[in-house]
Structure 1
Amino acid sequence: MEARIDADRVAPSALGVAERIQARRPQMSSAMAKIAALLLEQPTAPLELSITELAARAGTSPATVTRFCRLIGYSGYVPLRVGVAADVGRGDVQASWHTDIGRAFDPEDSSRDVLHSLLHAHTRSVQATASSVDLEQVDRIATAIAGCAHLDIYGIGGSGFMADEMQSRLYRIGINAHAWSEVHAGLASASIQDKHSVAIGISNTGRTRETIQMLAQANSSGAYTVALTNSPDSPLAVVAREHVVAAAPEEYLQPDDLSAKHSQLFLLDLLYLLVAQRDFSRTTTKLAASAMAVLPHRRSARSRPRPVETAAVAASRSTDAPGNESHV
Structure 2
Amino acid sequence: MTTTPVRPENLVAAVRAVLPSLTPSGRRIAELILHDPAMVAAHTITELSAVSGVSEATIVRTARSLGFAGYPPLRLALAAAAATTEDGDRLVPGDLGPDDPLSDVITKVTRAETEALADTGRQLTPEQLAPVVDAIARARRVDVYGVAASGLVAADMAQKLLRIGILSHAFSDAHLALTSSALLRTGDVAVGVSTSGETPDVLEPIRRAAAAGAYTVAITNNPRSTLAAAAALTLVSAGRETAFRPAALASRISQLLVVDCIFVGVAQRTFETSQPAIQDTRDAVNRFVAESRARRRR
**The two structures share one fold, judged by TM-score above 0.5:** yes
Q: Deviations over 1:91-112 (max 9, x none)?
A: 9xxxxxxx8232xx32221110
Give TM-score scaled by structure 1 length.
Answer: 0.70
Instruction: Name the CA shift for 1:145/1:36 in 2 (closer, same or farther; >3 Å).
Output: farther
Give 1:52 shift. Answer: 6.7
- The equivalent residue for 1:46 is 40
What's the secondary structure of 2:217's corresponding residue? strand
Instruction: Name the CA shift for 1:47/1:244 in 2 (closer, same or farther; >3 Å).
Output: closer
Give 1:136 shift. Answer: 0.9
Q: Deviations over 1:53-81 (max 9, x none)?
A: 669442379964343356x5744xxx759
Assess if the C-alpha contact under 8 Å between 2:45 and 2:71 holds in 1: yes
- The equivalent residue for 1:287 is 278
- The equivalent residue for 2:151 is 160
Instruction: Name the CA shift for 1:247/1:36 in 2 (closer, same or farther; >3 Å).
Output: farther
Distance 2:75 2:247 in 1: 31
- The equivalent residue for 2:94 is 101
User: Which residue of 190, 195, 198 corresponds with 1:199?
Assistant: 190
Distance 2:72 2:264 in 1: 37
RMSD between superposed Cα atoms in Å:
3.8
Counterpart check, 1:247 vs 2:238: yes
- The equivalent residue for 1:185 is 176
Aligned pair count reads 271
Give TM-score scaled by structure 2 length.
Answer: 0.76
Distance 1:285 1:130 in 2: 29
Give 1:172 shift. Answer: 1.5
Counterpart check, 1:225 vs 2:213: no
- The equivalent residue for 1:324 is none
Q: 5+ residue gaps in structure 1?
A: 1-8, 27-32, 92-98, 309-328
Distance 2:227 2:242 in 1: 20
> Please, which moves more after superposition, 149-158 or 246-255?
246-255
Structure with greater proportional helix content: 2
Distance 1:135 1:172 in 2: 24
Distance 1:161 1:189 in 2: 18
Instruction: Name the CA shift for 1:69/1:286 in 2 (closer, same or farther; >3 Å).
Output: farther
- The equivalent residue for 1:268 is 259
Give 1:132 shift. Answer: 0.8
Q: 5+ residue gaps in structure 2?
A: 1-6, 50-55
Fraction of identical pairs, as percent: 29
Instruction: Name the CA shift for 1:254/1:262 in 2 (closer, same or farther; >3 Å).
Output: closer
Distance 1:146 1:63 in 2: 38
Give 1:275 shift. Answer: 0.4
